[in-house]
Chains A and B, each alone.
Chain A
Amino acid sequence: MSDPVVVKPPGGTGPAGAPRGAAANTPAPPPEAPIPPQTEVEPKSPHVRPGDRIFKGLATGSGVFIVALIGAIGVFLLVQAIPSLALDNVNFLFSREWSTGDVGNMRFGILDLFLVTVVSAAFALIIAMPIALGIALFLTQYAPRRLARPFAYVIDLLAAVPSIIFGLWGLFVLGPVLTPIGEWLISSLGFIPLFAKGNVSIALGGTIFTAGIVLAVMILPIITAVSREVFDRTPGPHVEGAIALGATKWEVVRTTVLPFGKAGYVSASMLGLGRALGETIALTIILSATGSSFGWSLFDGGATFASKIALAAPEFNDPRSAGAYIAAGLVLFVLTFVVNAIARSIVAGRKEYE
């Protein structure tokens, strides 16, 4: 245990193990320390058991496969999109136009699609995040065990409802219910651009407002399920430490559960955001089409990347016009990557404290 050659310095002990050497470290390493060197020596011997080799091959293969798959999708999108982008007569990123019917004069830009996609997903996230946090805290901290389990099942069940059902529900049930609320918002808060009168008829309910709420319901179970798992793993000793300091239930949550679960909660929300950005069929059904461009109101209609592509799918008979939609898909693909990267950086920023 004392020989530094045997106990590898980075071998799992804390980052600041230096002040007192191995002896003063966390309790786990000392009893374990003598064991790893023996197991570590084995792989160096020429004989590798076939089981190990097969398993290593399978695991590595799976890892390589998924990376290759993502790469292949990216390449596919690029290859299909580039010829069409070359034929585009307007700026692809900043134009609000979208006409691909005449392949001799294609004019398509994604600005409106991008804005509708991001605004509806962000609106959904703003609604869903606090509710999901509340549900997850209720289930893990406050609900009696007997109630928590069935309740959690119901939430998970919500995730299993097909999105077409959510779409129909949004169009036929939620939309009409929201119409008077929308009218009230427009009349009383209409001076704020976000609540201004939109470019589609509010009576039909096919607005970003309706779509965002439906999306919020759809991503709620995802955020809740992951957050619940994370909060449930708050180490018991930390909770006890807080209780022993005289923390109330809420203070225990604030000092231990939330800091511990924050990264997981943010990741869960980004997972939900990813789902909201890519949601297709529900939005295809709900959002009313409009000829005018997006005016920053929640009561606008329009189309997201995904719903635009889905609506046009029956007409992909010319590779050049199809390529325009694939280019839009490429932007959505990149957008979800960016969202994930942001989530990762948020999580990694706090790593020092893990």
Chain B
Amino acid sequence: MAKRIDVKDLNLFYGKFHAVQQVSLSVPPRNVTAFIGPSGCGKSTVLRSLNRMHEVAPGARVEGTVQLDGEDIYASTVDPVQVRRTIGMVFQRPNPFPTMSIRDNVVAGLKLAGVKNKKQLDEVAERSLRGANLWNEVKDRMDRPGGGLSGGQQQRLCIARAIAVQPDVLLMDEPCSALDPISTLAIEDLITELKKDYTIVIVTHNMQQAARVSDQTAFFNLLGVGQPGQLIEVDDTEKIFSNPTQKATEDYISGRFG
């Protein structure tokens, strides 16, 4: 279950473009870490490197190490597909598989892993949907397409899908940016609950959200256009928002730029 992440000297590239430079940080287990920073500073890129999604883009390249409980996920012996099966990811836009029913969406990951037992799949579907606070809303229409739900429900469906495989880590890339305030609140409550079982890393543009849900906050910035993004500082959320070490952080969270 929940594992710690250690990132060391991480450099990320898209072809010749150096997107992120020298990031080192640690995420303790059962903890929510928020990545904040202006657009284009590389926070999503760093997030995507944590489950080896970064390299899916053509020409993308990774240097440095990312360790999951001490094991380098970029070691040459590691299969990226296996990494992604143990690290769940939720995207900016809810992306349930439109051709699948609600139930099949939730158990899609398990089916990929080869689980065929119908009873087991049904149990996991219910448990995951309960975990995502969606069960009561969809239990009577499990065979309906996932695309028929509202945006907020779809996003919770995607969270259910991600936690159905009981991942070690849950990555969330601006999970609320496409949602209305009520759905956002539902997701934030859910994050607080999920924290008991999972290590969570969340990218957000919403600083109040970072302050509300996270234990630790990492501030990313870029020095100029075309320059690589950098990790400016990472600390307890309380400290970042009340008494940051770096001036850039203070300027950003106080709304002086970005």
Contact = CB atoms under 8 A, between A and B. Distances in A.
A353 B99 contact: yes
Contact of B113 (A30, A246, A255, A352): A246
Given A240-B91, A256-B97, A353-B98, A245 B109 contact: yes
Contacts of B112: 245-247, 251, 255
B123 interface: no
A233 interface: no
B60 interface: no
Most chain B beta-carbon contacts within 10 A, residue among A241, A243, A248, A259: A241
Contact of A244 (B51, B113, B145): B51
B178 A27 contact: yes
Interface in A329-354: 350, 352-354
Grouping DSSP codes into helix (H, G, I), strand (E, B) and loop, the A interface class, with mixed when no group exceeds half, is: helix
Chain B interface extent, by class: 35 or more
Contacts of A352: 145, 148
A14 B109 CA distance: 25
A111 to B, nearest CB: 41
Interface stretch (B82-90, B205-213, B239-247, B250-258): B82-90
Interface in A255-307: 255-256, 259-260, 262
Contacts of B99: 259-260, 262, 350, 353
Given A23-B180, A353-B98, A247 B81 contact: yes
Contacts of A30: 180
B153 A354 contact: no
Interface in A66-110: none
A191 to B, nearest CB: 39
A218 B58 CA distance: 34
Contact of B84 (A16, A17, A245): A245
Interface string B78-108: 0001111110110101011111100000001
Most chain B beta-carbon contacts within 10 A, residue among A14, A20, A354: A20
A20 to B, nearest CB: 5
Contacts of B145: 352-353
A241 B158 contact: yes
Contact of A24 (B51, B89, B148, B150): B150
A139 to B, nearest CB: 16
A244 B84 contact: yes
A238 interface: yes
Contacts of A141: none
A16 B97 contact: no
Nearest to B99: A259
A335 B220 CA distance: 64
A246 B97 contact: no
B137 A19 contact: yes
B149 interface: yes
A14 B149 CA distance: 8
Interface in B112-169: 112-113, 137, 144-145, 147-153, 158, 161-162, 165
Interface residues of A, number: 35
B91 A237 contact: yes
Contacts of A246: 81-86, 109, 112-113, 165
Contacts of A145: 58
A350 B100 CA distance: 11
A346 to B, nearest CB: 14
A62 interface: no
B168 to A, nearest CB: 12
B163 to A, nearest CB: 12
B53 interface: yes
Contact of A16 (B53, B148, B161, B162): B148
A273 to B, nearest CB: 24
B98 A20 contact: no
Contact of A245 (B147, B153, B165): B165
B93 A24 contact: no
B153 to A, nearest CB: 7
A25 B95 contact: no
B179 interface: yes
A255 B165 CA distance: 17
B187 to A, nearest CB: 12
Interface in B169-183: 178-180, 182-183
A242 interface: yes
A251 B109 CA distance: 11
A15 interface: yes
11 contacts: A15-B148, A24-B153, A238-B97, A238-B98, A240-B91, A240-B95, A241-B97, A246-B83, A256-B97, A260-B98, A354-B98
Interface of B: 51, 53, 56, 58, 81-86, 88-89, 91, 93, 95-100, 108-109, 112-113, 137, 144-145, 147-153, 158, 161-162, 165, 178-180, 182-183
- The 4 A-B residue pairs whose C-beta atoms are closest, nearest first, are A246-B85, A259-B99, A237-B95, A244-B89
Given A244-B51, A260-B99, 7 more contacts: A19-B150, A20-B153, A238-B98, A240-B56, A259-B98, A259-B99, A353-B98
